[in-house]
Amino acid sequence: MTAIPDTPAGGFRLPRLGRLRGIANAALGIAALMLLWWLGGLAVANDPDMFAFADFAPAPTLAALQDIVTSGEVWQMSGPSLYRVGYGMGIAAAIGVPVGIAIGRIPFLREITNVPFQFLRMISPLSWMPIAVMAYDTWDGAIVFLIAVAAIWPILFSTAAGVRRIDPSWLKVARNLGANPFHMLFVVILPAIAVDILTGLRLALGVAWVVLVPAEYLGVTSGLGYAINDARDTLDYSRLAAVVVVIGVIGFALDWLCMLAIKKFNWVRDTAH
Amino acid sequence: MVVTRFKTESGATKKPKAPAVKPVRGAHVAVRGLSHTYRRADGPVLQDLDFEIRQGEVVALLGRSGCGKSTLLHMLAGLSHPSTGEVAINGNEVRGPSPRWVMMFQAPSLYPWMTVAQNAALGLKFARRSREIATRVPDVLELVDLASFAGRNVQDLSGGQQQRVALARSLATSPQMLLLDEPFSALDAFTRRSLQRDVRDIARTLGITMVLVTHDVSEAVLMADRVLVLDANPGRVAHDVAIPLEDAARSTGSEAFQREQARMMQLYTDVAHGDATTPLT
């Protein structure tokens, strides 16, 4: 960093070099992970006790990955999973955002909900599993419920925190200019907290994606969690590892989309501007 | 749409003022028997206020912190209500905020996710007069010397420019009265002077009644036709003084201005020291 001179000419080169270095470092990190994976595979293959698990190594995994991608199976696996996560996230947002705005705006609500919400938040979503299975007719319904339960808290708390950070003078000025409650919500409050809502969605997505796989160990016969379970039962370890890679790649991509959205809606200027 | 464009924001270069913004009939204000006591407070913050403000008059409420001048301004704006007595604008009791009188605050409080033009258009949008935005917003931005900044994000603007956007936003709905709550106190001296002059010019040109809250004696004398010096604990009108200055004499360098300022300073310090009974000369 300090090697680059802080001259006016350097000022133009700096961002470009910085970006190149970022890409190079990311590539380095990926290479290091692959190396560790390969070394681990090597160690397993040479260990007589674990020799049966050699298919977890990069080469068989990538071959299996190529198979499930070219056969289109990857879409059959991830389609239902994405649908469940989307549905659960949608429910979580539909409840979490309005409730978050309400508890951010009304101190009384905040005070009465604080203890119950913090209590509920700390319960692992998966501990609702038996209840979800009893309460819903379909496995899909139970899974969507579990995802929604996991995803609602980050959205709700992030929204409420954003509302509390709204500059009170924005509300005062809007009132003074004749804003009605509808304007207040859609012209002032929601744009002001858009980034907080999206940050909450991003955190929620991380949790939901984690909860999804064990939730799909339930009775369903589709989705990434089912594919993992199925591969384990058939001792197809290269396929199992390939599904793990798919889960990681999709999770990474979803998170990246959230970050793009946050960047787009973020109205706070960089101080370096 | 915009006729002329100006490069500067400071107001240092005087614009050729041919306002496309039409004059309005300024509001007439009557304050009658107004007293106010905050809940859980020992005594009243404002007591027995009785005064009138003529159409198109510029009045400064001058007083120390805590004399209730901001509270009074909020009541004129309908943002809060007195314990007893009433505020009437054009003969009707004020019951709440209205687009016909707009308040400007110390912070410009612009919405940072909007452009200059979008900020200026807000009052019209809220008043369901969106059809006027296309013509009205360029006109008011021109009036405050920011025509060429319409598409910029407000975060790119200086403090003085931001306060000009806030002024444009206040003027967009053609209010009959502007209420200013120390709107220039966060600005540097040069920017403050040019805004003080421009805001007075704009209000006078448009015929808008203006009420200004300040603790700055020179600001009151520069801008106002009339100054109400407020006493504190309880807030009362100690002096009601006309400022008989021509517009040309309203600059800190003029002798007439300095005389008025000295006279006002005397009244202000007398009141501040609890000697509000000195008869006016």
- Tens-digit pLDDT profile for residues A151-192: 999 999 999 999 999 988 898 888 888 888 888 899 899 999
pLDDT at residue B2 above 50? Answer: no
Q: What average pLDDT does chain A have?
A: 84
- Tens-digit pLDDT profile for residues B7-49: 444 444 444 455 567 777 888 888 888 888 888 777 888 888 8
| Res. B4 pLDDT band, cuts 50 70 90 | very low
- Chain B nearest-CA distance from A200, in A, is 20
ipTM of the complex: 0.74
Q: What average pLDDT does chain B have?
A: 82
Average pLDDT for B169-194 = 86
Name the residue facing B126 among A178, A192, A269 (closest C-beta): A178
- In this prediction, residue A270 carries a pLDDT of 60
Which chain A residue's Cα is nearest to B100? A177
| Residues of chain B contacting A169 with CB distance shorter than 8 Å | 105, 107, 109
- In this prediction, residue B79 carries a pLDDT of 84
- Chain B nearest-CA distance from A181, in A, is 10
Q: Do A178 and B123 touch (CB under 8 A)?
A: yes
Q: How many CB pairs under 8 A join A and B?
A: 55
- Chain A nearest-CA distance from B276, in A, is 34
- In this prediction, residue A14 carries a pLDDT of 55
Name the residue facing B111 among A170, A176, A180 (closest C-beta): A170
Which chain B residue's Cα is nearest to A169? B109
What is the per-residue DSSP string for A89-153? HHHHHHHHHHHHHHHHH-HHHHHHHHHHHHHHHTS-GGGGHHHHHHH-SSHHHHHHHHHHHHHHH
| Residues of chain B contacting A187 with CB distance shorter than 8 Å | 122, 125-126
Residues of A with a Cβ under 8 Å from any B Cβ are 167, 169-170, 172-180, 183, 187-188, 191-192, 194, 267-269
- Tens-digit pLDDT profile for residues B90-120: 888 888 888 788 888 888 888 998 888 888 8
Alpha helices by DSSP H, listed for chain A, are: 8-45, 58-70, 73-105, 107-121, 129-135, 139-164, 168-176, 181-183, 190-215, 224-233, 237-265
* pTM given for the model: 0.76
Which chain B residue's Cα is nearest to A181? B126
- In this prediction, residue A255 carries a pLDDT of 92
Pick from B70, B104, B113 the residue to mutate for testing the A interface (most A CBs within 10 Å).
B113
A62-265 CATH, one of 1.10.3720.10, 1.10.630.10, 3.40.190.10, 3.50.50.60: 1.10.3720.10
Which chain B residue's Cα is nearest to A270? B155
Residue B112 near chain A (CB below 8 Å)? yes
- In this prediction, residue B13 carries a pLDDT of 47
Which chain B residue's Cα is nearest to A269? B155
In three-state secondary structure terms, A1 is coil
Average pLDDT for A199-219 = 89
| Res. A196 pLDDT band, cuts 50 70 90 | very high
Q: Do A169 and B173 touch (CB under 8 A)?
A: no
Name the residue facing B97 among A176, A191, A268 (closest C-beta): A176
Domains of chain B: 29-100+175-272 (3.40.50.300)
Residue B105 near chain A (CB below 8 Å)? yes
pLDDT at residue B193 above 80? Answer: yes
As a whole number of Å, the end-to-end CA separation of chain A is 19
Please say whether the beta carbons of B217 and B268 come within 8 A: yes
Higher pLDDT, B114 or A270: B114
Name the residue facing A177 among B107, B113, B126 (closest C-beta): B126
- Chain A nearest-CA distance from B21, in A, is 19
> What percent of chain A is modeled with pLDDT above 90?
33
Least confident of A15-19, A28-32, B188-192: A15-19
Give residues 152 to 211 of B whose Cβ lies within 8 Å of A. 153, 155, 169, 173
